[in-house]
Amino acid sequence: MDLQSGFITVTLRSHVTPSACIEGLELGKKMQIRLAADTTVRELAQKFFSQNMNHIGFIAVNGKIAAENTILQEGDAVDIYSLISGG
Amino acid sequence: MQKFLRVKMDSKSPVWEDVKEEYALFGGRGLIAKILNDEVNPKCDALGPENKLIVCGGLLNGTLAPNSGRLSVGGKSPLTGTVKEANAGGVAGQMLGKLGIKAIIVENKPRDNEWFILKIDRNNAELLPADKYIGLNNYALTSQLRKEFGEKTGIISIGCAGERGYRNSTVQVTDMEGRPSRAAARGGLGAVMGAKGLKAIVLDATGPADTHYVDKEKFREAAKNYIAAIKADQVAGHVFPALGTAVLVNMVNALGALPTKNYSDGRWDKAENISGERLAEVQRARGGGAGHICMPGCAVSCSNIYNDENGNYLTSGFEYETITLNGSNCGIDSLDTIARIDRLCDDFGIDTIETGGTVAVCMEAGKIQFGDGEGAIKLIQEMIDGTDFGKILGQGTEFAGKHLGVKRIPTVKGQNMAAYDPRGLKGTGVTYATSPMGADHTAGNSVGMPKINHHKKEGQVEISTNLQVAMATVDSLGMCLMAALSPMADPVNVGYVCQMMAGKYGGEWDPDRLFGIGVQTLALEKAFNKAAGFTAKDNRLPDFMYKEVLPSTGSVFDFTEEELAMAIPF
């Protein structure tokens, strides 16, 4: 935990290729990233997917669909899901 | 010039027919609907001589179009009593195109309960005695047939479930490696094939394709652009090749629509154990995994190979629906166990969706406990062994559920729902209720629709209608939905499909004309069902979906009959 320095660490897993570089990210594999404390779901998406937000279907936090204004907490698991139509 | 091959089983005579002009722009699902309306009594016994088994490719079959070799199988369904088209990947669809066959129409039944193999090559079609193959399931059957007729043949076959008339039985198709792992699964069409005395169709399409184009260069250019669009697409070009359709497990769980313990919940705390991400991780170590191609000309490669813990092949085409219906819906969190179930189903020739639903109602009835993987396999083994109870299970979820006195039976028009709880994914729920096929996610699945609240009903009838038209079109073109839905969300790519149709058939094609194929198909299917005796009152989900709140979403299925009547109003 790094709260005193104003940062949190969350686990990120994405099914959308980010438009910004996230070193070490592979589709569908979890990795840890550091974010500013009080980062919202919307802000995380804008930080890494600003050029392809339309590829994102929804974002889940800790296994449940999350509102855009959800403030991320230390240790949260964030999943970025694409618009998957198959099955 | 494409031909119909009409196979009269009573006189043992395959006859080639010219295709009438009025059939020129019918293919796949649309062609099946047309033939059923023109030739089959809608009130007939689906397993009697009046029904017909129709096997065909779509309008783009045999062409340079990517992912255009789906094999459509159709007839009146013995499970639902409705019109039925089920399609599969594998090699056989494209072989029909290469052989110049627009459709195989199998009629009547043999006089003396005889069994046959239908062998087709460039010069001949003949019915051969199949006595030595009866009693074989699909893996042993296709292995023997490939030894006898050659490794390059494509095979369409039934296992013992189809022989015995099980209403959950499939028609299996061999893949690129000759394994019978692809299924035209829904609606019991394996039993229709079995009722015709037809154990397998063996296709030898050696040699070049002789496909006619009005403007081949125009077609080639459009196909090239469409392939590039697939490769660039986030889902079709990146997610599916890496993780396969099982990637949906975690996503649908997060939405709260993952069928769990016989549709009693929509979220499961063990979903991660059966996810596409876990599958990829496990198979990386075993030499299997995603990125497998099931049919020639595939630009997506969403299929997979599942190896057992010793690294030996166990099954392939191990998809989200199979994993969820036999996983979370049964409380089973072992991918190895679910993969064994998938292998048993492909081999015996039964629908994995219907099977998972049937096992789950047995669990609800207390025959075995939720989570009992070995118990689930024993129930499937009862079907394979043909015990009295196994025969009941082989009639599908609704029949078995009623027999056991279960109140939560997740069927529409007699067919088990797929792996989306309709209270948590209401657009798909509208499709389940109103599709002429019965509960079928491939008829119009709303899970990928952007910027809507899937738990609310607003806008869902329109979404389902648009998706049902799109899917009826895609199924009539013979395209794989994995290569269609996501790319075709972009109008530019729809333009490439229109250009391919113009290159193949001539004339002007725009989106209205293209999707008019879907409208026409749905109208024909509804006409067949109406003549079979179905009414708007059949367009309804089971009662518990309207009354029991889904805990994960806090919602029920809250559409009135009048609201549902607004869907697919053609």
Q: Which residues pair with B303 in a beta bridge?
A: B292
The burial of B117, by beta-carbon neighbours within 10 Å (0-12 exposed, 13-18 middle, 19 or more buried), is given as: buried
Residues of B in contact with A13 (CB under 8 A): 277
Contact A52 B255 (CB under 8 A): no
Q: In the prediction, which pLDDT does B368 show?
A: 98
pTM to 2 decimal places:
0.97
- Cα distances from B394 to residues A1, B184, B509, B525, B541, in angstroms, run 55, 17, 45, 26, 22
Q: Which residues pair with A59 in a beta bridge?
A: A80
Q: In the prediction, which pLDDT does B209 show?
A: 80
Chain B closest-CA separation from residue A30 CA (Å): 9
For residue B301, the tally of other CB atoms under 10 A from its CB is: 18
Distance, CA of B71 to CA of B62 (rounded, Å): 11
Residues of A in contact with B253 (CB under 8 A): 63
Residues of A in contact with B489 (CB under 8 A): 83, 85
ipTM for this model: 0.93
Q: In the prediction, which pLDDT does B123 show?
A: 87
Confidence of residue A83 (pLDDT cuts 50, 70, 90): confident
Q: Which residues of B165-195 are buried (b: 16+ CB within 10 A; e: fewer)?
A: bbbbbbbbbbbbebbbbbbbbbbbbbbbbbb
Choice between A3 and B206, residue whose per-residue pLDDT is larger = B206
Say if CB B277 and CB B239 are below 8 A apart.
Answer: no
Q: Chain-centre distance of CA B183, in angstroms?
A: 7
- Cα distances from B522 to residues B32, B429, B473, in angstroms, run 11, 17, 9
Distance, CA of B299 to CA of B64 (rounded, Å): 12
Question: Over the stretch A26-57, which tens digit does the pLDDT of each residue have?
Answer: 999 999 999 999 999 999 999 999 999 989 99
Dihedral (Cα; B535, B45, B382, B178), 10-degree rounding: -100
Chain A closest-CA separation from residue B181 CA (Å): 16
Contacts of B206 (CB under 8 A, 6+ apart): B121, B122, B152
Dihedral (Cα; B121, B127, B128, B134), 10-degree rounding: 110
Place of tokens 């009269």: B8
Contact B486 A16 (CB under 8 A): no
Helix (H) or strand (E) holding B359: helix B352-364
Mutate which of B239, B270, B425 to test chain A, going by most A C-beta atoms within 10 A?
Answer: B239
Closest residue in A to B300 (Cα–Cα): A86
Q: Which residues pair with B467 in a beta bridge?
A: none
Mutate which of B235, B456, B480 to test chain A, going by most A C-beta atoms within 10 A?
Answer: B235
Nearest to B46 by CA among B73, B84, B81, B72: B81
Cβ-Cβ contacts under 8 Å between A and B: the total is 99
For chain A, the residues whose C-beta falls within 8 A of a C-beta of chain B are 13, 15-17, 27-29, 52, 54-55, 57-58, 60, 63-65, 79, 81-87
Structure tokens at B74: 């159709």
Task: Per-residue pLDDT tens, chain B, 570 aa: give them.
Answer: 799 999 999 999 899 999 999 999 999 999 999 999 999 999 999 999 999 999 999 999 999 999 999 999 999 999 999 999 999 999 999 999 999 999 999 999 999 889 999 999 998 999 999 999 999 999 999 999 999 999 999 999 999 999 999 999 999 999 999 999 999 999 999 999 999 999 999 999 998 887 999 999 999 999 999 999 999 998 999 999 999 999 999 999 999 999 999 999 999 999 999 999 999 999 999 999 889 999 999 999 999 999 999 999 999 999 999 999 999 999 999 999 999 999 999 999 999 999 999 999 999 999 999 999 999 999 999 999 999 999 999 999 999 999 999 999 999 999 999 999 999 999 999 999 999 999 999 999 999 888 899 999 999 999 999 999 999 999 999 999 999 988 888 999 999 999 999 999 999 999 999 999 999 999 999 999 999 999 999 999 999 999 999 999 999 999 999 999 999 999
Residues of A in contact with B255 (CB under 8 A): 58, 65
For residue B570, the tally of other CB atoms under 10 A from its CB is: 16
Q: Which residues pair with B54 in a beta bridge?
A: B74, B105
Say if CB B3 and CB B102 are below 8 A apart.
Answer: yes
Contacts of B250 (CB under 8 A, 6+ apart): A60, A63, A79, A81, B271, B272, B275, B276, B277
Dihedral (Cα; B172, B174, B178, B180), 10-degree rounding: -20
Distance, CA of B89 to CA of B186 (rounded, Å): 14
Contact A15 B253 (CB under 8 A): no
Confidence of residue A4 (pLDDT cuts 50, 70, 90): low
Chain A closest-CA separation from residue B147 CA (Å): 34
Q: In the prediction, which pLDDT does B122 show?
A: 92
Q: In the prediction, which pLDDT does A1 show?
A: 52
Contact B482 A64 (CB under 8 A): no
Chain A closest-CA separation from residue B64 CA (Å): 23
